[in-house]
Amino acid sequence: MNILITGAASGIALSVVKKISKDDHVYLTVHNKKQIPRLKRLLEKYDNIEIFKLDVTSAWDRRKVLKLNIDVFISNAAIGEGGSIVDIDFDRVRENYEVNVFSNFELTQLVLRNMLKNDSGKIIIISSIASQFIMPFLGSYASTKSSISTLGLTLRKELSTLTSNIHVSVIEPGCYHTGFNQVMLDNKYNYIDSSSPFYKSIDEIYKKEHRFFKLIEKKSLRTVSNKIIEVIYDECPKALYRVPIEQSIFVKLYMIFKR
């Protein structure tokens, strides 16, 4: 089986690849060539892995997948932009959508060409529990994840009218400590200046956000990586998965009492 994983330089994708069967061939892609040597060092014991640059926003790079016969595509590439809807530069929001939504689904369209020809395949879209969670200053990122989940689940229904042999699943991981959340929380402070209505509250916002994520983030990626592995090898995977279950329950309760 041939498995393609985008955005594989670190975090969840890196934890997943170590659990994939050695009998399967894995294509790992990264945003730029500078990330390749480090990833090769980390995975030097695995001889079933091929690493190459695939910037999902590059039409040229996206077309590389047409030469590959992919059985399982894990759409994982993403960026996160923090900032208030009041004063965020919408060029940053556009970039967030370009990477997380538009480019990922353009790539999915290309992967689907061979899957439809072969009448076989599996697409796993990595969204986020943020798609269900309204939190101040994370609206740009969270809304891209809501879009990803909706598009993925819609694609599943559309494909079901054509074939029962191509499966689409959306996985919405909760908060895991990979460093991604901290980058997203902090990057807004590069843009907040004295003209922002939130300028005087920066310290309070910073402390509250980091305190919350320190409390809720899971240090181990085991639950999410195990779930992705389960979906890879499940013959009939479900449409939607949320892990870990306790964070999914927490989000539902939070949204009830904190609206």
pLDDT at 250: 79
For residue 251, the model assigns a pLDDT of 76
Question: Could you tell me the two tokens for 205?
Answer: 């916002």
CATH classification of the domain holding 14: 3.40.50.720
pTM for the full model?
A: 0.95
Instruction: Give one DSSP letter per residue of 209-231, joined into a string.
Output: HHHHHHHH-BS--HHHHHHHHHH
Task: Provide the residue range defining the domain that includes 232.
Answer: 2-257
Task: Give pLDDT tens digits for 130-173.
Answer: 998 888 999 999 999 999 999 999 999 999 999 999 999 999 99
Residue 256 pLDDT > 70, yes or no?
yes
The torsion angles phi and psi of 113, rounded to 5 degrees, stand at -55, -50
Contact at 8 Å (CB) between 239 and 168? yes
CB of 185 within 8 A of CB of 216? no
User: CA 70 from chain center: how many Å?
Assistant: 19
Total domains present in the chain: 1
Determine the Cα–Cα distance for residues 117 and 38; give it in Å rounded to an integer: 36
| Residue 255 pLDDT greater than 90, yes or no | no
pLDDT at 258: 63
DSSP string, 136-170: TT-HHHHHHHHHHHHHHHHHHHHHHTT-SSEEEEE
Answer whether 6's CB lies under 8 Å from 56's CB.
yes
